[in-house]
Structure 1
Amino acid sequence: MTLKHWLKSSCAVLTAVGLLQPPMVRAQEAPGDVTMQPKSSDFVQQYATDMNRQPSLTTAEKIALLRQKVKYVFVLFQENRSFDFYFGTFPGAHGLFTQSASDTPGFVQALVDTDGSLTTISPFLIPQTVNTASGGTVPIYPADTASVDHSHTGVVNKQHFVNSVSQNDRFALDEEGLTIAADGTIVSRTTGAPPSAPPTLMKKQMGELVMAHVDCDTAPYLWQYADRFALFDNFHMTVTGPSTPNALALIAGQSGLTQWALHPEQASTNTASPVIASSGGQPVLGDPGPFPGSNLDQSPVKPPWNPDDENPNTPALNQTYASLPLSFMGRDIEATVSTDPNPVLDLLDIQHDIQRIAADGNPPTNWGWFQEGYDAEPTDSPAEPLHSSYVLHHNGPQYFGYIADNAPVASTHLHGLADFFTAVQNQQLGDEGGVFYVRGGYDNNDGLLPVDPNPAVQAAFPGSDDHPGYSDVQISEQLLADTINAIAQSPYWSESAIIITYDETDGMYDHVPVTSRVNDPAGLPLEPSSRIPTLVISPYGKSHAVISQSSEHSSVIKFIDNLFNLTPLARLPDEKRGFALGQSELGQRYVGPADADTPGVGDMLAAFDNARLTGDAPPLPASFAEIAPNSPPSLPHYPGGGCYTLNIIPTDYVNGKLLDPAPADFNPRPSLTPGIPSAGDWTP
């Protein structure tokens, strides 16, 4: 049953009226940082965190308890969705309808119509079906959408910063190749002149798509996890731009600011240098392939490369600053880096970091990066070359020579996706715990195809990492469910914290403004950027809660630092030298990782339930995290309707009426399936 049909019943409408705007219970432990969601179902409510019975804990006490209870951190790292795209209408979260339209930045945006006239566009729900003029109903399959502009300069244009604060009001125009000049006229982004022709239908539809969102009918598994566990509604991507910079930020808290400060000749603006013009320089702002594994890499044993993903002749510069995998080496670091075949290239910028990490005396932290296509996968086709499903530029560790070109390190810690499930099933993750990253790719290991029967769509959207343009939402949800089910069915669940997060927004609209703290070498805003979906799932986590603490990728690092007693990357000596040079030579204070000493970067501790940590409340059972654990993967998820199944009414429905219908000419895939779905002659 679809949400629309469900809400037509009188009893459902009465329920809707009662549930739309209940009073919010604010957390006593951190006022404003934790909000309990409005009730969804009796089943979930029995596990919901009781904020009135939370023991008082200092930060040190909470970290000490977490170290006793949590040994395994699983980071499920997905792709290219904004918070508003998935959770903009999630009850209890800071969303599209939390405030009035006039108080929501960018809620009404300029859009140029195909006849050249100026119109507007506001956020809208992508429907499951549209009606044609003749009275027919056409499914449009919102699980499969085109990818929009998520380049560094494109997203900066969309966000439109004024006095370092984003206005978020040029998302639609950017998709049409347009922007607004200083005098208020609409001009071409590339020429700065008035456009020579009106936008095509395809361009206009892309301008609409960037403002779209989905809900529990399209992404029911994500909403189920958000309903049952802790949803962050103020978690931001670190770097304004595409995937690679934020894959680096997840493990390093930056995309090369330290390297830029230490080597200003590597600045991304130094395009007079052929090396910088080819690589993009520092910090990394685009999606070049990694230096390790490229044709420029002279290491005797190199990591894999997917030539269909990136050009092996124009890789990024080798990344030479500290990262979590460096810290994970612990007291064995000197022996570990001794097998690096390129010490001058890889280790010169971290010599003092190595000494500090060794002196800390911490035992090594076990870790693994499991990414589809890095090695052979069980569903690989004999007709496709090895690594064909490998999204090379999504593998953060491969960008660091001291990881990827050090053969013993790479072989121990970098793996394919199926290797994760084998390791969990066989309990091979180590008794001491560790940190384990899981990523999908261009295909999926479940053998699933999109529900859309169009062969072109099925061929284009088999991916599992949730990246628009090649990944299907529900295929990607299935990877999350497969992973969480595997953990829940293993001994690891009782000592686990699972973090679902994303790299970046894909350039999709999110309304919450950001204040830039760091600019790139060209002076454009760089860090932090728009909100992304993030959830924490743990037997010791809060349930049915929204966490509003300001956070970003460095918050994941900060949580791991605290849990494993690691010196923060920001306090390692070579990074501190980078901060000092950033201040003195570049005129910027926060040129480096943000896992310490940077205001506005949370530690994720609010996601954990004090009562569960102290034993005053029981841990959440593994079954609470499982989704269809005994059923083979199939699509669609919850055929009767996700919102109906979860008993959740999105905030854009009031008294059964949808507040934000889609534009009449909307198309979720303007290039792949061109035309107007409501015209009656469109092929999904």
Structure 2
Amino acid sequence: MMRRLARIVPVAVAIAVLGACQTTPGKGSAGTGMHDSGLDAIQTIVVIYAENRSFDNLYGNFPGANGVQHLKPGQYLQRDRDGSLLQTLPPVPGQGLTVASDPKQITTEATRGHPNRAYALDDPNGYGVSLDYKLHDLIHAFYNQQMQINGGKNDKFAAWSDAGGESMGYFDGSQMAMWQVARKYVLADNFFHGAFGSSFLNHQYLICACAPTDFKTQADPKKYQNNISVVNDDGVSLKVDAKSPASALDGPPKYVHYGVLTPDFRAVNTMMPPYAPSGKPAPKNSAEALDRITLSPQSAETIGDRLSAANIGWAWYSGGWQIALDGGKDAEKIVFQYHHQPFNYYTQYAPGTAARTEHLRDGGLDGAKFIADIDAGKLPPVAFYKPQGNLNQHAGYASVSAGDQHIADVIAHLERSPQWKNMVVIVTYDENGGWWDHVAPPKADRWGPGLRIPSIIVSPFAKRGVVDHTQYDTGSIQRLINHRFGLVPLPGILERDAALKAHGEAAMGDFTSALELWH
């Protein structure tokens, strides 16, 4: 898709000309020389961050998108752990495709012998699993995903999943309200989540473009040895236990040790924040177990810090935040996810700090407080919104339909907001959630990018009814913020850019390809 304006100037030039002046939205450039006058029209950037869906899982049938409609066998056939072609997809362990709380049960036997291909979960002549079903929380972890990607072939999703052939399922997303929003505005079909694997790590990548370090394990690795993954010499795969089933047809894999950290103490799988609200209510976790999975306080610079330094207002709105702080069963009812609150891991936003009070905001039950600020025209220039657990579309504890209706309702409020005429909204997902996608991610740095996920750009400036094929990743959200407000990119963004270039890959976009700001 053709660009209407030259790309952002080189980062080195941006850093060289960084001055002392600050940007106020609508007032022009903030001293980096990066800022295009057309971007002044953007006064408010809103990021809605949903959960755990690959692009093919929800938008594989979207008209004009690179989806599942015309795939050749080489793009979907799955291989066993030894590299041989699977004759059928592995069966789904346990009760089959649906979780126990669902009214309709599908047995494991119904998924045994399924042809080796991607398939529609909601096919009425097949399994008939609707968007209202929760399905399973498929494994989606740092090393596991790299093993599934298998160097870009994307042919070992079923082999290294804990849910067998369920990983190859997708929906006819045309029934979703957000599908209609995507048809109205811009759907990006070449957007990759920033880091391999987990929700935890991708929330961190969203704000810091980094993988945190667990300093307590680094200081006492013997005490916290269970935190550390046992990894092969390639540095991208887990060591398989000798007792692991040789074939995926005989059961899920077993590893020597699947931990939350890399051998050099970088936190890549789910760890809890050091500040309240944190952890899971007793008796599910003992104090010792909770201590082990609680990440040390972090102090790396985040996009929030960069915005604050430039006097740009921003906030992280978390659905049910106050409910979680209050604790008790209400937090369990909304399935509040503590590890989806990335700023709560950082000392600069610790309890008692002015920054916490200003920037970490309660989105309210069902997003009511966030919506109230939308309706009143009180959103800051940059606003992140994290829906509460049962509305975030995460398989295992949330349905697609509930989150779809909620996010579409939020979009409707944004379209009526007093701030709408100068707004850009990015609706995306944290990561793929273990669901297969057929597109190989570009090669970059150690942390990612991971799989392709949906992203919808909603704005009065958005091109209408367009599928944008520009390459993006989660860091593209920071790239847009940096471009608009003249901020110097965080180190992780520079690392990603350099790694892409070193591998001969296309640069990541900043969403301006999806907008019409210049005439």
Aligned to 1:307: 281
How far does residue 154 in structure 1 lie from its aligned partner after superposition? 2.2
Alpha carbons of structure 1 residues 387 and 129: separation in structure 2 relative to 1, 3 Å? closer
How far does residue 555 in structure 1 lie from its aligned partner after superposition? 0.7
Structure 1: how far apart are the matches of 2:450 and 2:129? 31
How far does residue 244 in structure 1 lie from its aligned partner after superposition? 0.5
Give the conservation status (yes or no) of the 8 Å contact 1:547–1:607: yes
How far does residue 211 in structure 1 lie from its aligned partner after superposition? 0.6
Q: Percent identity?
A: 22
Which of 143, 146, 150 does residue 136 from structure 2 map onto?
146
Aligned to 2:275: 292
Aligned to 2:121: 126
How far does residue 367 in structure 1 lie from its aligned partner after superposition? 0.9
Which of 542, 553, 562 does residue 474 from structure 2 map onto?
553
Aligned to 1:23: none
**What one-letter code is carried by the residue in structure 1 that aligns with 2:318?**
Q
Give the conservation status (yes or no) of the 8 Å contact 1:292–1:401: no
Give the conservation status (yes or no) of the 8 Å contact 1:376–1:387: no
Alpha carbons of structure 1 residues 147 and 391: separation in structure 2 relative to 1, 3 Å? same
Aligned to 1:424: 374
**What one-letter code is carried by the residue in structure 2 that aligns with 1:248?**
Q
The answer to whether structure 1 residue 280 and structure 2 residue 269 are counterparts is no
Q: Secondary structure at the match of 1:509?
A: coil
Alpha carbons of structure 1 residues 550 and 273: separation in structure 2 relative to 1, 3 Å? farther
Give the conservation status (yes or no) of the 8 Å contact 1:126–1:142: no
The answer to whether structure 1 residue 410 and structure 2 residue 356 are counterparts is yes
Give the conservation status (yes or no) of the 8 Å contact 1:109–1:122: no
Give the conservation status (yes or no) of the 8 Å contact 2:211–2:266: yes
Which of 308, 314, 336 does residue 367 from structure 1 map onto?
314
Which of 333, 336, 352 does residue 390 from structure 1 map onto?
336
Aligned to 2:177: 221
Which of 129, 148, 155 does residue 169 from structure 1 map onto?
155
**What one-letter code is carried by the residue in structure 2 that aligns with 1:277?**
N
Structure 2: how far apart are the matches of 1:416 and 1:275? 36
Alpha carbons of structure 1 residues 498 and 589: separation in structure 2 relative to 1, 3 Å? closer
Structure 2: how far apart are the matches of 1:266 and 1:440? 33
Q: Secondary structure at the match of 1:370?
A: strand
How far does residue 554 in structure 1 lie from its aligned partner after superposition? 0.7
Which of 394, 417, 422 does residue 495 from structure 1 map onto?
422
Structure 2: how far apart are the matches of 1:142 and 1:386? 22
Alignment of 1:436-455 (within 5 A): 436-442=383-389
Number of equivalences? 426
Task: Spell out, residue by residue over 1:462-490, the C-alpha distance to the aligned partner (whole angstroms, 9 max, x if none).
Answer: x1001011111111012212211111111
**What one-letter code is carried by the residue in structure 1 that aligns with 2:436?**
Y
Alpha carbons of structure 1 residues 514 and 481: separation in structure 2 relative to 1, 3 Å? closer
Give the conservation status (yes or no) of the 8 Å contact 1:238–1:249: yes
**What one-letter code is carried by the residue in structure 1 that aligns with 2:261?**
G
Aligned to 1:319: 298
How far does residue 501 in structure 1 lie from its aligned partner after superposition? 0.7
Structure 2: how far apart are the matches of 1:474 and 1:487? 20
Alignment of 1:485-564 (within 5 A): 485-519=412-446, 526-564=447-485
Structure 2: how far apart are the matches of 1:226 and 1:86? 12
Task: Spell out, residue by residue over 1:613-640, the C-alpha distance to the aligned partner (whole angstroms, 9 max, x if none).
Answer: 43xxxxxxxxxxxxxxxxxxxxxxxxxx
Which of 498, 502, 516 does residue 609 from structure 1 map onto?
516
Task: Spell out, residue by residue over 1:421-460, the C-alpha distance to the aligned partner (whole angstroms, 9 max, x if none).
Answer: 222233333xxx5111111123xxxxxxxxxxxxxxxxxx
Alignment of 1:545-624 (within 5 A): 545-570=466-491, 590=499, 600-610=507-517, 613-614=518-519
Alpha carbons of structure 1 residues 276 and 435: separation in structure 2 relative to 1, 3 Å? farther
Give the conservation status (yes or no) of the 8 Å contact 1:304–1:374: no
Q: Secondary structure at the match of 2:197?
A: coil
- Please identify the structure whose Cα radius of gyration is greater: 1
When the two chains are superposed, the root-mean-square deviation of aligned CA atoms in Å is 3.7
Task: Spell out, residue by residue over 1:360-391, the C-alpha distance to the aligned partner (whole angstroms, 9 max, x if none).
Answer: xx3x11111111221139xx999636896421
Alpha carbons of structure 1 residues 406 and 387: separation in structure 2 relative to 1, 3 Å? farther
Alpha carbons of structure 1 residues 274 and 105: separation in structure 2 relative to 1, 3 Å? same
Structure 2: how far apart are the matches of 1:211 and 1:103? 12
Alignment of 1:13-24 (within 5 A): none
Aligned to 2:202: 246
The answer to whether structure 1 residue 102 and structure 2 residue 74 are counterparts is yes
Structure 1: how far apart are the matches of 2:122 and 2:412? 29
Structure 2: how far apart are the matches of 1:264 and 1:518? 26
